[in-house]
């Protein structure tokens, strides 16, 4: 059993290989169909929108982080197989008391989540508090390790997702004078700006620099302190792509995720969470044209589903979340075989202490939205 007590680095203790010599890709899918049906009374599969099609086909519930967090609470089967990345599986373990939560490939991490370490957060927090008498409310994006969720739980803060960031930030600014937002600077900046906070009221704390590269005066003056973290997938989109696209096709709507940088969100026609993007495309009339700035597996599924609309990726390059992509049908099958033998593998277990504090923060978020 794996314990992610300290940080979110991915452990690779047990990778149960089902080699291609043992089973071809097609044979894996055939056995998966059979075993999934056999274990349907014991296992729920949760699938994040960024998973590849051959994994999503086995998901009982698909969604973004917020939707899956809400669904996790309702699960009444003993095993939850989470097809996503490890912070999501941790969140599920925190929310589902007494369930066994499995991540099919333990290497499926999140580079953004790994940009905020608990030690660095603790160090920055003490220093920031010494710079100001203002009350600072810490907010973490759900894309982080359980140690950080516990930190905000213990320090009067909350978790947010890209779907509810506006509400959570508004809540936080009603409780304190300042906000510390981690690990994604872009979601923090884009959301705060949308709420009327000027760029000159925000500073960036870079954990790789002494005191984050800030002076005590800058911290004292700032309303929002953003952590220097980002998503390598969404950072792949740039403003020039929008300018080029609009020159070629001025009538194509550019819709992007708020993990994209500020200039991309400002240049786009629309921006919102994964659920928002899906919804906007779904309700658009036939013949609508979109260029989407988010992960490529989701864009591909939107294309396949809405054949009456023209949907392309904003980027000419493959914007693939390579860690999400690590979850393959053969790892899913290995997880199912192990459950069938009552010897679950790749179990994600958060310590009781971290669970208690994280749960405070998660329940605070669920009460706000
Ligand atoms: S898309 Fe970005 S934020 Fe989401 S899991 Fe992948 S690296 Fe992390």
Can you list the domains of the chain with their CATH numbers? Answer: 2-108+323-351 (3.40.50.10800), 113-227 (3.40.50.10800), 234-313 (3.40.50.10800)
**pLDDT for the residue 366:** 87
Q: Quote the tokens at residue 275.
A: 């659920």
How far, in Å, is the centroid of ligand 1 from the Cα of 6?
20
At 47, which helix (H) or strand (E)? strand 43-48
- The residue behind tokens 């779904």 is 282
How far, in Å, is the centroid of ligand 1 from the Cα of 85?
8
Tens digits of residue pLDDT in 174-232 = 999 999 999 999 999 999 999 999 999 999 999 999 999 999 999 999 999 999 999 99
Ligand 1 atom showing the smallest separation from residue 110 Cα: 8
Tens digits of residue pLDDT in 239-256 = 999 999 999 999 999 999
How far, in Å, is the centroid of ligand 1 from the Cα of 319?
11
How far, in Å, is the centroid of ligand 1 from the Cα of 263?
20
- Mean pLDDT, contiguous 10-residue spans, the chain (369 residues): 37 63 95 97 96 96 85 91 95 91 94 96 98 98 96 97 95 96 98 98 97 98 98 95 98 98 98 96 98 96 97 91 93 96 95 96 90
Among protein residues, the one with the nearest Cα to ligand 1's atom 5 is 110
How far, in Å, is the centroid of ligand 1 from the Cα of 50?
9
DSSP letter at 10 equals P
7 touches 107 (CB < 8 A):
no
CA distance 303 to 319: 15
In sequence order, what E strands does 124-207 have? 136-141, 158-160, 178-182, 202-205
Ligand 1 atom showing the smallest separation from residue 234 Cα: 2
pTM for the model stands at: 0.92
For residue 3, list its beta bridge partners.
Answer: 349
Ligand 1 atom showing the smallest separation from residue 231 Cα: 2
How far, in Å, is the centroid of ligand 1 from the Cα of 116?
14
**pLDDT for the residue 16:** 55
Question: For the chain, what's the residue count?
Answer: 369
Least Cα distance to 356 among 161, 155, 78, 154 occurs for: 154
Q: Quote the tokens at residue 310.
A: 């023209």
- Ligand 1 pocket, Cβ-based, cut-off 6 angstroms: 50, 85, 110-112, 143, 231-233, 295, 321, 323-324
Ligand 1 atom showing the smallest separation from residue 143 Cα: 3
Q: Quote the tokens at residue 37.
A: 């049906």
How far, in Å, is the centroid of ligand 1 from the Cα of 233?
6
**pLDDT for the residue 12:** 42
Among protein residues, the one with the nearest Cα to ligand 1's atom 7 is 110
Least Cα distance to 123 among 24, 51, 207, 245 occurs for: 207
Among protein residues, the one with the nearest Cα to ligand 1's atom 2 is 231
Pocket test for ligand 1, best of 65, 85, 161, 183 (most atoms within 8 A of CB): 85
**pLDDT for the residue 15:** 56
**pLDDT for the residue 69:** 76
CA distance 145 to 17: 26
At 256, which helix (H) or strand (E)? strand 253-256
Q: Quote the tokens at residue 296.
A: 């490529």
Q: Quote the tokens at residue 356.
A: 């208690």
Other CB atoms closer than 10 Å to residue 283's CB: what's the count? 8
How far, in Å, is the centroid of ligand 1 from the Cα of 358?
21
Pocket test for ligand 1, best of 323, 325, 326 (most atoms within 8 A of CB): 323
Ligand 1 atom showing the smallest separation from residue 295 Cα: 1
347 touches 89 (CB < 8 A):
no
The dihedrals phi and psi of 199, each to the nearest 5 degrees, come to -60, -30
């Amino acid at each position: 059993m794996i314990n992610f007590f300290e940080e979110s680095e991915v452990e690779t203790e047990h990778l149960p290989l089902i080699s291609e010599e043992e089973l071809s890709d097609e044979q894996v899918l055939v056995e998966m169909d059979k075993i999934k049906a056999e274990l349907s009374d014991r296992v729920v599969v949760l699938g994040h929108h960024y998973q590849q099609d051959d994994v999503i086909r086995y998901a009982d519930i698909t969604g973004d982080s917020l939707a899956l967090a809400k669904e996790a609470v309702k699960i009444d089967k003993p095993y939850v197989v989470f097809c996503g990345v490890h912070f999501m599986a941790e969140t599920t373990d925190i929310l589902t008391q007494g369930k066994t939560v499995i991540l099919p490939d333990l290497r499926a991490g999140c580079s953004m989540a790994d940009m905020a370490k608990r030690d660095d957060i603790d160090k920055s927090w003490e220093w920031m508090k010494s710079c100001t008498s203002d009350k600072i409310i810490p907010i973490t994006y759900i894309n982080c390790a359980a140690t950080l969720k516990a930190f905000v739980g213990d320090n009067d803060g909350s978790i947010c997702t890209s779907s509810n960031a506006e509400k959570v930030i508004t809540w936080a600014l009603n409780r304190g004078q300042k906000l510390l937002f981690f690990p994604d600077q872009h979601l923090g900046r884009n959301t705060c700006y949308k709420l009327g906070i000027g760029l000159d009221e925000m500073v960036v704390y870079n954990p790789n620099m002494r005191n984050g590269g800030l002076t005590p005066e800058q911290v004292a003056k700032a309303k929002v302190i953003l952590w220097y973290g980002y998503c390598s997938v969404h950072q792949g989109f740039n403003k020039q792509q929008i300018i080029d696209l609009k020159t070629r096709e001025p009538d194509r709507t550019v819709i992007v995720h708020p993990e994209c940088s500020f200039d991309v969100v400002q240049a786009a026609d629309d921006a919102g969470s994964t659920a928002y993007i899906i919804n906007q495309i779904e309700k658009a009339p036939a013949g609508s044209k979109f260029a989407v700035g988010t992960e490529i597996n989701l864009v591909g599924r939107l294309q396949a589903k809405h054949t009456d609309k023209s949907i392309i990726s904003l980027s000419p390059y493959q914007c693939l979340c390579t860690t999400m992509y690590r979850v393959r049908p053969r790892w899913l099958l290995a997880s199912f075989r192990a459950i069938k033998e009552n010897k679950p593998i790749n179990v994600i277990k958060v310590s009781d202490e971290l669970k208690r504090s994280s749960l405070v923060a998660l329940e605070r978020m669920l009460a706000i939205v």
